[in-house]
Structure 1
Amino acid sequence: HIHDLKQVRSIFVYCFDKEKNELWAKKYKKVRSVIVELNDLLKEIDIDCKGDEQKLNESIKLKIHNDEIILLLLQINSSLIDKKYLLNICLKFYENNISELENIREFEHLYSSLNALEWFFNETFLYRLLIKSLHIFNIEILFLLRFFLQDIDQQLRNCTIVSERVYRGQLMTIDQIDFIQQSINDKYFRFNLFIIDNRITE
């Protein structure tokens, strides 16, 4: 299936029957939208591409004060009011995306601190919101997401630590490659997001 190809990140369904195609499309997490108007399709693709371009242009260098803010967020208690406010933001943003609306409702009823990593690896709205907020360092959204950061942090701390070689493919600019090379020479390297790796080279 096209959906299973690793090089495919986003899928947009352009059709005449939105309701019919949304029934099967909601089963696939890479399907961003089911669209019937050409202008809407072009707009969605443009937004998606700009998001990738922004990621590419973002420096992977982490500023010290940003690092300190993340550590601070891990210590600030979260509240149900914050979670509800975050959900309202997500509901409004995904109001035309049935698949993500279902994920939001599922999150509202089933999320717990014990399944935070599961929600992260499922790459639903919560994963994308966290990764994007870390990329552009949107402190307002990160503040609302601090419960998620705290739960992930706690789950990772409870994991057995194993030292092994892992692999990750990453699209980078020449400047980013130069920065990594310099960091390797300095024997010190940090990321401002969670890194998902694989034991197998692909």
Structure 2
Amino acid sequence: MHDKSQIYAIYIFCFDKSKYEQWTTEKWPKVRGIFANIDSICDSLRQTARECDDDDMKITGQIEPSFMYSMLFKEIVLEIHFDLEKEIPGLAKYARQVYKDKPEQLPIIDEFVQQYNGNINNSPVRWYTAECFTYKMLNKALGRLDVATLLKTGFFMRDLHRNIEELHKKQINDNDAPFPKIVFRGEAMTQEDFDSKVQQ
């Protein structure tokens, strides 16, 4: 795992640090530490994020193809005029097929069809941050570059992007709002997804 460029750092979060101390040796250079409390792991993550930013500035080689494709796709999606009267039912039909074995998602899909209109009042950010099909479907599609799903969710990605831009502008212009806000969101991966990412 330490020879994989996709893995920059490894953090071990546990209650008994002594069980894993042997992993912080020169043999395991990507292990940044064993952490028993959230504050110390967050501090280490911030430091590593700064290192990653510095390393990104130094990269002069080739752009990762999947990154390039995702950026091109994003630019295209932002320019497309979507007919929401067709796109929303189309996404709902697709989501019902994908989540046919997860009946708890079906009422949420119905609610999405009835309520979603893409404007700031029906916040795409709210739909994305909810633990529901929108977040799961979009993240999986982005992670796997699943073009069929990305096309079905294109209008939602565009709306989400615009919603985040609007919220960012509001926050910058609001002198009373604490800024900057730091937001972390984890992503769980199946072993299969992890293995495929590591082997790229």
| TM-score normalised per structure 1 | 0.49
Q: Which structure exhibits the higher relative contact order, with contacts defined as CA atoms closer than 8 Å and separated by 6 or more residues?
A: 1
